[in-house]
A and B are shown apart, each in its own frame.
Chain A
Amino acid sequence: MPSTKVLITGGTGFLGSEIVKVLVEAKDFAITALDINPPSLGTESYSSVTYVRCDILNFKKLREVFKEARPTVVLHTVAVNLLGESRYSTQGKDTVFTINVDGTKNVIQASQEFGVKAFVYTSSVTVLLDQLEENFRNADETWSTGRATTLYGQSKTMAEGVVLSSNTPSFRTCALRAAPIFGPRDPVTIPTIYGCIANGETPFILGSGNNLQDYVYVSNVADAHVLALHNLLGLGIAAGEAFFITNGEPITVRDLCLAVWKEFGHYPLFQLRIPEELAWWMGWGLEWASWLTSRKGTFSRGVVLDATKTRYVSISKARRVLGYIPRVSLPEALQISCQVSPRIECV
């Protein structure tokens, strides 16, 4: 049986390398991993995989890669996310939109030109949930997007729109809206939570502590990509559709933090609840303080909203259409992730 040719953009990134791993293990794919960076230290690289260095903004180079690889399927995972304080600011709009939107347009154009049959886009729950002042309880894919307030959420919404509207019977596309992804060597979620220990922030509970949020383990997202790929090449009922991909285990933000700290052997000495409104004003005050002192603060209204709002979604559509099952459950996933993520790297 001839193996399916798959091209992964962002193939050496945090999620991309995990997808490569899952595809290699499945054994019936010829894989091209495209990335601006070579495989980073500590991650596995495979001799059977063709690694190509290419910037998706460089369309000429991108065409050459496509011409060479002639993929049947493209998995587009490249995106740039603003971290920390920049998540809530409006600076850096150009970078974010260029890579997330124009980059996606480039990849789609190249795919269409070289006869790609299926295109899976790694979208994000932020397309809906980044309307930061709002609560989202058990939202599903019928909820309309377009009200995100962060640059990241807006750029992902726009790119997702481009991807889904390009769907045709000969070029099938779908979007997987992943929740915040964590895993071994994850660059964001676990290091951020771990960082609170050193800052002495662990005793403080922002808001009610009852607000549920979703997360997803990296290999579960990788599984979802492979399922989507099979669906688009086969029945195609996922074509033109968006899917929420989470671990299906909404828990409170506070509990996720406590569980991560526990993995590192840290338990808060006492607990102090800060009401949502008070926290919001504190964030407001500190934003001014950091503006006046022109230093970058770590606490702002955005952080407060991220920590105190309820934001979880239903994954029943992914279960039903894609047959998605989160194989690695949260407790196991946290254990693996915190073991591998070296402490030094986190600090």
Chain B
Amino acid sequence: MPGVKDLAYYAVHPTQLRSIIQWKVWHNPVHERDESKESESLKRCFHFLAQTSRSFVAVILELHPDILVSVAIFYLVLRGLDTIEDDMTIPLAKKEPILRDFHNIIEQDGWTFTENGPNEKDRQLCVEFNVVIEEYKKLKPTHQAIIKDITKRMGNGMADYVKNAEFGIDDNGVNTVKDYEQYCHYVAGLVGEGCTRLFVEEGKANPALLKRTELHESMGQFLQQVNIIRDIKEDFDDKRRFWPKEIWSKHVDNFEDLFKPENKDKALACSSEMILTALRRADDCLFFLAGIKEQSVFNFCAIPQSMAIATLDACFQNHDIFKRNVKITKGDACQLMLESTQNLQLVCEVFKRYTRKIHKKSNPHDPNFLQISIACGKTEQFIESIFPSQKPPVDEKKNPTNVEEAARLKKEAEESKWETIYMISAVIGTVVFISGIMLVVAWFAGARFDIALGQAKEQLGQLFGSSGSINASAPLDTKPSTDHSEL
């Protein structure tokens, strides 16, 4: 239930309230899942999906039936993997082989995992992982192969990361920007690849997307990087650090210093460099969306991207990210969902709006001021290139370039003139012809044109010839009445 604070907020932000109502009232899912035909284990899977992912469940559930279950299972498999990776209570010796072998585990009937620590929030998913495996095995073999391949690569990537962290090779965190993007590749870029392969497999996306690998990579990177930027405080409290040392060390000596109030300016400069790194991916994400052919898939891809660019704006030049979790308001979220579930042009408008907001907040004291400006300009130019807002001016005065061209133009003009004449004569001809047929038919049916003509003549005569007599009769009628009045 909304609290008093919320009510007060929406009272002064009526447009946001309007968006929420619009979304709740008017949004119809593109596809609705048919629960009656689902098996018990699949129902259980959807239950876990709803539990483990608050942000993705809505968009997954509206997916086209061809890929709905595959995407859901794909998500749960990766979530299972992630739950094991995240759990600090599992020793490395136990964790590493599971991560590296997870792509085989998902094919072992009845496999479950009960050794997660009691505080792990998605513990139950691993405890009942057999339902996921059961459903995984029912998927199309092609889908299984895609999920298996991604799981294998992600599991190995995670294992490497966990191992490095354990042995303190990179003092429990990410060093270079390359490491950072590598990490994002394993946890998100690969998801982008897997989803794209599923979509293309089912004909829901342009196969060219598989060739331009940097596009689906950017889709994942953009979302993951935005999460990492937004969750800086939460991760720090959990003793995790994903911001690369290469970036923060330019601004502060120790990572903790970012959170000290006296370093506010340095922290902001550091966060804008992080935001810049993410922002450079924005045009790729829009380009990717242009390759989606099906509405539900488009919504699935576009909603998180719009949310991400809005979150980026909310975090930009906002020192609160070092104190708490910064979120976009519910009204804005609904507005974004409305705009992201229609077409690419509207999503481009969203991106343009938010890049301009970011641009407006940028100030020259920021070391990356010019770079941010360039990144914003690049996004805007890209949008302009796919949806030109302006047509090249038409040259009215332009003269024909040569004699043949001139002759051709003259001939065309002549032809079009005759075309008009033919057209008009055809219309007149048709009218005359049809009237003629009607008259003949009427005559055969016994119409007395002689009488009709005679009557017509008479009426015409009355109309013109007797106009005087009608006027003349008026005094005759009125005369008696005047007499009476005299009486």
Give the B-binding residues of A (Cβ under 8 A).
Answer: 134-139, 142-144, 146-147, 209-210, 212, 249-252, 255, 258-259, 261-262, 267, 312, 314, 329-331, 334
Which of B363-371, B431-439, B454-462 lines the interface with chain A? Answer: B363-371
Contact between chains at B377 and A252 (CB < 8 Å): yes
- Roughly how many angstroms separate A212 CA and B375 CA in the complex, as a whole number? 12
Q: Please pick, from A144, A314, A334, the residue contacting B395 in the complex, using a CB distance under 8 A.
A: A144
Given A212-B381, A250-B381, A267-B364: A255 and B373 within 8 A (CB)? yes
Q: Closest chain B residue to A332 by CB distance?
A: B370
- Roughly how many angstroms separate A136 CA and B390 CA in the complex, as a whole number? 8
Q: Please pick, from A144, A312, A334, the residue contacting B370 in the complex, using a CB distance under 8 A.
A: A334
Within 8 A of A (CB), among B350-397: 356, 359-360, 362, 364-365, 369-371, 373-374, 377-378, 380-381, 384-385, 388-390, 392-393, 395
Contact between chains at B356 and A212 (CB < 8 Å): no
Q: Closest chain B residue to A314 by CB distance?
A: B385
B359 CB → nearest A CB, Å = 8
Contact between chains at A331 and B370 (CB < 8 Å): yes
A319 CB → nearest B CB, Å = 13
Jot down 21 A-B pairs with beta carbons below 8 A, ordered by A: A135-B390, A137-B388, A137-B389, A138-B384, A138-B388, A142-B392, A144-B392, A144-B393, A147-B393, A212-B380, A249-B378, A250-B377, A251-B373, A251-B374, A259-B364, A259-B373, A262-B364, A314-B381, A314-B385, A330-B370, A331-B370
Most chain A beta-carbon contacts within 10 A, residue among B359, B369, B393, B398 = B393
**A251 / chain B contacts, CB cutoff of 8 Å:** 370, 373-374, 377
- Per-position binary interface string of chain B over residues 230-268, scored 1 when its CB falls under 8 Å from any chain A CB and 0 otherwise: 000000000000000000000000000000000000000
Within 8 A of A (CB), among B377-421: 377-378, 380-381, 384-385, 388-390, 392-393, 395, 398
Contact between chains at B371 and A331 (CB < 8 Å): yes
- Roughly how many angstroms separate A329 CA and B373 CA in the complex, as a whole number? 13
- Per-position binary interface string of chain B over residues 203-234, scored 1 when its CB falls under 8 Å from any chain A CB and 0 otherwise: 00000000000000000000000000000000
Give the A-binding residues of B (Cβ under 8 A).
Answer: 356, 359-360, 362, 364-365, 369-371, 373-374, 377-378, 380-381, 384-385, 388-390, 392-393, 395, 398
**A209 / chain B contacts, CB cutoff of 8 Å:** 360
- Roughly how many angstroms separate A334 CA and B373 CA in the complex, as a whole number? 14
- Roughly how many angstroms separate A139 CA and B393 CA in the complex, as a whole number? 10
**B380 / chain A contacts, CB cutoff of 8 Å:** 212, 250
- Roughly how many angstroms separate A331 CA and B370 CA in the complex, as a whole number? 7
Q: Is the interface of B mostly helix, strand, loop or mixed?
A: helix
A26 CB → nearest B CB, Å = 29
Given A251-B370, A252-B373: A138 and B398 within 8 A (CB)? no
Q: Closest chain A residue to B368 by CB distance?
A: A331
Contact between chains at A137 and B390 (CB < 8 Å): yes
- Roughly how many angstroms separate A252 CA and B374 CA in the complex, as a whole number? 9
**A252 / chain B contacts, CB cutoff of 8 Å:** 359, 373, 377
Contact between chains at B389 and A255 (CB < 8 Å): no
- Roughly how many angstroms separate A101 CA and B360 CA in the complex, as a whole number? 43
- Roughly how many angstroms separate A209 CA and B390 CA in the complex, as a whole number? 20
Q: Please pick, from A139, A259, A312, the residue contacting B392 in the complex, using a CB distance under 8 A.
A: A139
**A147 / chain B contacts, CB cutoff of 8 Å:** 393
Apart from A142-B392, A249-B378, A255-B373, list 19 A-B contacts with CB within 8 A.
A137-B389, A138-B384, A143-B393, A144-B392, A144-B395, A144-B398, A147-B393, A212-B380, A249-B374, A249-B377, A250-B378, A250-B381, A251-B373, A252-B359, A258-B364, A267-B364, A312-B377, A314-B381, A334-B370
**B362 / chain A contacts, CB cutoff of 8 Å:** 255
Q: Closest chain B residue to A142 by CB distance?
A: B392
**A146 / chain B contacts, CB cutoff of 8 Å:** 395
**A329 / chain B contacts, CB cutoff of 8 Å:** 374
**A212 / chain B contacts, CB cutoff of 8 Å:** 377, 380-381
Contact between chains at B381 and A312 (CB < 8 Å): yes
Contact between chains at A255 and B395 (CB < 8 Å): no
**B378 / chain A contacts, CB cutoff of 8 Å:** 249-250
- Roughly how many angstroms separate A331 CA and B359 CA in the complex, as a whole number? 16
**A267 / chain B contacts, CB cutoff of 8 Å:** 364-365
Most chain A beta-carbon contacts within 10 A, residue among B360, B384, B395 = B384
A182 CB → nearest B CB, Å = 14
**A331 / chain B contacts, CB cutoff of 8 Å:** 370-371, 374
Q: Please pick, from B369, B385, B393, the residue contacting A259 in the complex, using a CB distance under 8 A.
A: B369
- Roughly how many angstroms separate A262 CA and B359 CA in the complex, as a whole number? 17
**B365 / chain A contacts, CB cutoff of 8 Å:** 267
Q: Please pick, from B356, B371, B381, B385, the residue contacting A210 in the complex, using a CB distance under 8 A.
A: B356
Q: Closest chain B residue to A247 by CB distance?
A: B374
Most chain A beta-carbon contacts within 10 A, residue among B370, B385, B392 = B370
Contact between chains at A143 and B392 (CB < 8 Å): yes
- Roughly how many angstroms separate A251 CA and B379 CA in the complex, as a whole number? 11
- Roughly how many angstroms separate A267 CA and B366 CA in the complex, as a whole number? 11
Contact between chains at A262 and B392 (CB < 8 Å): no
- Roughly how many angstroms separate A330 CA and B365 CA in the complex, as a whole number? 17
Q: Closest chain A residue to B380 by CB distance?
A: A212
Q: Please pick, from A134, A250, A262, A312, the residue contacting B369 in the complex, using a CB distance under 8 A.
A: A262
**B388 / chain A contacts, CB cutoff of 8 Å:** 137-138
Q: Closest chain A residue to B352 by CB distance?
A: A210
**B390 / chain A contacts, CB cutoff of 8 Å:** 135-137
- Roughly how many angstroms separate A124 CA and B394 CA in the complex, as a whole number? 21
